[in-house]
Chain A
């Protein structure tokens, strides 16, 4: 079997997503073992940063281009990718597990009759078999899954596969103008949410819970997030109370995040909250109840009052940022 690998490179607003570059890093685990090449394909209008795909190890890059592809269209993107897959005899397709990747991957799997595994945190080859590891039950367990089909579709969890050092590459970007697109489904408008950084993409998240007492006090959370260049997250309790929007909710019925640093302020650490953030690399908890379950998974904690501790954190961090 040829085991030709395709990584879908996602762009938003004409910029290549880091999570897609991580998908190339993940793909190397398979291409190395199979001795096969990694092809990259992207869809959109003008796109910046495609050379980074080559620098991460893509052996070819195709840009399927049209002004009508500036915004996402499930139908057009899926058809274009499907054609590319057929023409290039692709066996394994890898996406980042982003909003777009999660939408497209299953459609491609149905189109090419492939086994599919999503949100994978590890990929390996054992003999001829591809085996992936993925969290289930909101991260309370992990499964190792073996593909038994010849075609395979995989999505990988962002922030899990570290990027390699960029390498020099002479790969050229093959731009192919597209026409006669299938726009039976298309984005007609983009609505930005208030937050500057989305929790799903942030390297640092500062989350607040009911311990903040009222919506007004989230100013404190925002201020700490600002000095850290972090996204603001929230527990479900405060989303349900209408203090924060659902797009900020972290947890089982919110977003699953794995930032480098997660700071939980006045959050008890209910099992459904932990489900969404337990794979964060470092966890800090500030909670006045020293028995709060959040301390069970926190690397560092202070068992005290957020209203006293957070202003001090802001002050200290400002100091070091200024030096």
Chain B
């Protein structure tokens, strides 16, 4: 089976955000970019599925040449080939999804893995947007996945528990932490990845429906009071919570 994994290339979660001079994006200086953490679970599940049912895993990332670093990482973990959908300017989620959907259709993939969310804009929607554009089933925020023939049984996280969902391919799965333990790329994998191809393609054009006007820092929270260093401070704490904050 042809399996696609979509990966985004994002600032490391430890990044200290500084707003850029344009007032609309972060200042990319000194920022380390990595594979979106949730996409590692997506890659792992794609590889596991391929190893179980046969077929190939194609990694797709939309962005600039820099995204090749994340594609390369997925190849080093074991994916078969990569595609960079080149796009230099900012695209909103639906515009990204339209370009991804066009390429997934072109690939004739039956199963597509996404991360549940990119840790840059935290939208959490590209997977389901793409699924619907393709007319595929979808299960989001998945922590357990099983494929038997055409049938999919997946568990998704909800408030206070999990939903067990039955559906079938063609399907989009968005991966949540807990789905699996992503493998490390072995030295052999890293060497092998150098020989695998990453194809460059123009991303299909699609209009943006949203526009970022400004990016700003949230109002700084001033550090509060340290009331003491032992249990003798507890009565005052409880009093403040009750009378000042009125939360208990």
Task: Mark A residues whose CB is within 8 Å of B.
Answer: 12, 71-72, 74-75, 78, 98-100, 102-103, 105-107, 109-111, 113-119, 131, 134-149, 184-193, 195, 197-198, 200-201, 204, 228, 246-247, 249, 252-254, 260-261, 271-272, 275, 278-279, 281-284, 290, 295-305, 308-309, 311-313, 316-317, 320
Interface status of B102 (Cβ within 8 A of chain A): no
B226–A290 CB distance below 8 A: yes
Q: Which residue of A lies closest to B141 (CB)?
A: A99
The answer to whether B215 touches A99 (Cβ under 8 A) is no
A271 close to B14 (CB less than 8 A): yes
Q: Which of B120, B124, B245 contacts A118 (CB 8 A)?
A: B124
Please tell me the size bucket of the interface on B.
35 or more
Instruction: Kindly state whether residue B30 has any CB partner on chain A within 8 Å.
Output: no
With A106-B128, A110-B129, A296-B223 given, is the CB distance from A191 to B26 under 8 Å? no
Known A-B contacts A144-B212, A193-B161, A297-B223; the reply to A185 vs B166 at CB < 8 A is: yes
B contact residues around A187 at 8 Å (CB): 163-165
With contact pairs A103-B141, A261-B245, A284-B241 given, residues A309 and B163 touching in the complex (Cβ less than 8 Å): no
Report the number of A-B residue pairs with Cβ-Cβ less than 8 Å.
Answer: 276
Top 8 A-B residue pairs of the complex, sorted by shortest distance between their CB atoms: A115-B209, A110-B132, A149-B209, A106-B125, A185-B167, A299-B224, A99-B158, A106-B128
Question: Are A302 and B248 in touch, CB under 8 angstroms?
Answer: no
Of residues A136, A278, A305, which shows the largest number of chain B Cβ atoms within 10 Å of its Cβ?
A: A136
Task: Tell me if B148 is interfacial: C-beta within 8 Å of chain A.
Answer: no
Q: Evaluate contact between B160 and A103: CB separation under 8 angstroms.
A: no
**Which chain B residue lies CB-closest to A98?**
B159
CA A113 to CA B214, docked complex, whole Å: 24
Q: Is the interface of A mostly helix, strand, loop or mixed?
A: mixed
Find out whether the CB atom of A300 lies under 8 angstroms from the CB atom of B225.
yes
B223 and A298 form a contact (CB under 8 A) = yes
A206 to chain B, nearest CB (A): 11
- Taken residue by residue from 83 to 103, chain B's Cβ proximity to chain A (1 for < 8 Å, 0 otherwise) reads as 000000000111001000000
For residue A71, which residue of chain B has the nearest CB? B163
* In the complex, chain A residues whose CB is within 8 Å of the CB of B119: 137-138, 252
- Choice from A118, A188, A195, A302 contacting B234 with Cβ under 8 Å: A302
B17-50, CB under 8 A of A: which get 1 and which 0? 1010000101000000000011000000000000
Partner of A114, one of B130, B139, B209: B209
- Is the Cβ of A317 less than 8 Å from the Cβ of B248? yes
Q: Which of A149, A253, A302 contacts B177 (CB 8 A)?
A: A253
**Nearest CB of B to A217, in Å:** 17
**Nearest A residue to B15, CB-CB:** A137
CA distance A317 to B121 in the complex (A): 40
Contact residues in A for B248 (Cβ distance below 8 Å): 204, 228, 261, 317, 320
Cβ of B30 to closest chain A Cβ, rounded Å = 15
Nearest residue in A to B123 (C-beta to C-beta)? A118
What are the residues of chain A within 8 A of B226 when measuring CB–CB?
290, 295, 301-303
